[in-house]
């Protein structure tokens, strides 16, 4: 029976290092039981020979299925933002499936923290090998990831981060700099004073995302000695009627608001309100390449959209799990995404592929 040609590569490495093939195999697959001195010598020989293990053959021979769980919000009538990360998951899945990797996607409702907990428990019952998740509900995400750590299940955060939770990686925006940029876009050529409304529309107002974004926003104003008065509106009911009711109350007390910054993708709700109230002259900046947002961008109600490549976030997260679990490679702990500025003039070149 003809042997896999990679066998002879391992055999040659073992011969040069004067160790067994099993010892070389442990080093290649990042297993324990090899001294640092021996590991260093073997890795030097691997580099010298430019040895590339046949991962596919190795995985097929093992016949062990690796199960990855994906825990992200469901696409809803309110927002289709999560269709982009889902496409990224599917793109990665196509590439890594031949290596004996099975992906199971679990969806939760962004308006229901209990749905997150339910899906998280299903993942734990399933006995998966790795998890990609969006930690949209902080307390529930912490409980879930602590249980993952106890069970030695690696997990990767996308879109939002929870520091100190020992994730395998965070792949998403630099939140502080994203908010910093938002302030620059909103106040560009606007003078040095006036009223700005910062709007948070979410069930989780104290989400790490929004806090970091707002901190970056305020820092830009402070560092550039801009004396804008900031009015903050926290809206934890995400339907349009609730948004409109809250904004009406804000504008009743602050008729002279000149600009609005929305800290997430629900900027379209604010744009709809401004159009209905004939206040399109107010500058408006928010987040994400959603069809609803693009409509308002094209009518001029939204001035700029800030985007963080959500499809690429999910794709990279899946590949991080693949490289860790299959190839035994170390991965970069923090991978910040580019911050794109979308305008009416360039939006047609920033298309997201359909699922």
**195 and 239: one domain?**
yes
**214 and 201: one domain?**
yes
**128 and 182: one domain?**
no
Contacts of 67 (CB under 8 A, 6+ apart): 101, 102, 103, 104, 126, 127, 128, 129, 130
Residue 35 CB neighbour total at 10 angstroms = 9
What is the total count of domains within the chain? 3
**pLDDT (0 to 100) of residue 57:** 54
CATH number assigned to the domain comprising residue 18 = 1.10.260.40
Is 217 inside a domain boundary? yes
**45 and 91: one domain?**
no
Whole-number Å distance between alpha carbons of 184 and 176: 13
Beta-bridge partners for 304: 285
- Exposure of 1 in the CB half-sphere (CA atoms within 13 A): 3
Q: How much is the CA Rg of the chain, to the nearest whole Å?
A: 24
| pLDDT tens-digit readout, 242-300 | 999 999 999 999 999 999 999 999 999 999 999 999 999 999 999 999 999 999 999 99
Lowest mean pLDDT among 19-28, 43-52, 79-88, 198-207: 43-52
Over residues 72-95, the mean pLDDT reads: 90
**184 and 333: one domain?**
no
Over residues 204-210, the mean pLDDT reads: 73
Is 347 inside a domain boundary? no
Whole-number Å distance between alpha carbons of 353 and 355: 7
Is 72 inside a domain boundary? yes
**259 and 212: one domain?**
yes
Is 34 inside a domain boundary? yes
**45 and 81: one domain?**
no
Mean pLDDT, the chain, rounded, equals 89
CATH number assigned to the domain comprising residue 290 = 3.40.50.2300
**143 and 119: one domain?**
yes
Query: Starting from the edge strand earliest in sequence, which strands make up the sheet with 227-235, in order?
Result: 227-235, 193-201, 257-262, 283-287, 304-307, 340-342
Contacts of 268 (CB under 8 A, 6+ apart): 286, 290, 292, 293, 295, 296, 302
Three-state secondary-structure class, residue 129: coil
Is 59 inside a domain boundary? no
Lowest mean pLDDT among 104-108, 199-203, 266-270: 199-203
pLDDT of 216 above 70: yes
**298 and 183: one domain?**
yes
Higher pLDDT, residue 326 or 232: 232
**156 and 226: one domain?**
no
Q: What is the largest CA-CA distance in the chain?
A: 83
From 205, 213, 259, 203, select the one nearest 233 (Cα to Cα). Answer: 205
Is 58 inside a domain boundary? no
**pTM of this structure:** 0.80
- Using a 10 angstrom Cβ sphere, with 0-12 exposed, 13-18 middle and 19 or more buried, the burial of residue 131 is buried
**pLDDT (0 to 100) of residue 48:** 77
Is 124 inside a domain boundary? yes
Q: What does DSSP assign to residue 168?
A: S
Report the sign of the C-alpha dihedral through residues 310, 315, 316, 321, in that order.
positive
| pLDDT tens-digit readout, 43-83 | 888 877 766 666 655 555 556 789 999 999 998 777 788 99
Q: Tell me the residue range of the domain where 80 lies.
A: 65-172+310-337
Query: In the structure encoding, which two tokens stand for residue 271, read together?
Result: 């744009």
**pLDDT (0 to 100) of residue 52:** 62
Calculate what percentage of the chain has a pLDDT beyond 90: 67
| pLDDT tens-digit readout, 317-347 | 999 999 899 888 888 999 999 999 999 999 9
Virtual torsion, Cα 212, 297, 347, 175, nearest 10 deg: 0
**92 and 187: one domain?**
no
Residue 350 CB neighbour total at 10 angstroms = 14
**146 and 244: one domain?**
no
Is 280 inside a domain boundary? yes
């Amino acid at each position: 029976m003809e042997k896999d040609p990679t066998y002879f590569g391992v055999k040659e490495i073992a011969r040069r290092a004067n160790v067994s093939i099993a010892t070389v195999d442990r080093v290649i697959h990042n297993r324990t039981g090899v001294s640092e001195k021996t590991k260093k010598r073997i890795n030097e020989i691997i580099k010298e020979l430019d040895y590339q293990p046949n991962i596919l053959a190795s995985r097929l021979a093992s016949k062990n299925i690796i199960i990855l769980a994906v825990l992200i919000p469901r696409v809803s009538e309110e927002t289709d933002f999560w269709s982009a990360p889902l496409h990224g998951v599917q793109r990665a899945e196509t590439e890594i499936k031949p290596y004996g990797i099975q992906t199971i996607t679990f969806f939760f409702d962004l308006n229901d923290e209990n749905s997150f907990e339910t899906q998280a428990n299903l993942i734990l019952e399933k006995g998966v090998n790795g998890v990609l998740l969006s930690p949209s509900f902080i307390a529930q995400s912490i409980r879930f990831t602590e249980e993952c750590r106890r069970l030695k299940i690696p997990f990767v955060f996308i879109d939002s981060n929870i520091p100190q939770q020992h994730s395998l990686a965070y792949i998403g925006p630099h939140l502080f700099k994203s908010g910093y940029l938002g302030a620059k876009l909103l106040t560009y050529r606007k003078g040095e004073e006036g009223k700005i409304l910062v709007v948070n529309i979410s069930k989780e107002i104290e989400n790490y995302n929004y806090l970091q974004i707002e901190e970056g926003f305020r820092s830009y104003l402070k560092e550039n000695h801009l004396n804008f008065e900031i009015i903050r509106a926290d809206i934890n009911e995400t339907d349009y009627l609730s948004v409109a009711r809250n904004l009406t109350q804000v504008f009743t007390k602050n008729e002279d608001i000149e600009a609005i910054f929305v800290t997430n993708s629900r900027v379209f709700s604010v744009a709809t309100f401004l159009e209905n109230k004939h206040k399109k002259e107010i500058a408006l900046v928010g987040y994400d390449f959603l069809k609803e947002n693009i409509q308002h961008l094209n009518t001029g109600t939204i001035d700029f959209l800030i985007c963080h490549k959500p499809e690429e976030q999910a794709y990279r997260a899946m590949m991080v799990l693949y490289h860790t679990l299959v190839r035994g490679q170390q991965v970069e702990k923090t991978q910040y995404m580019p911050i794109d500025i979308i305008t009416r003039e360039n939006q047609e070149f920033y298309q997201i592929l359909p699922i």
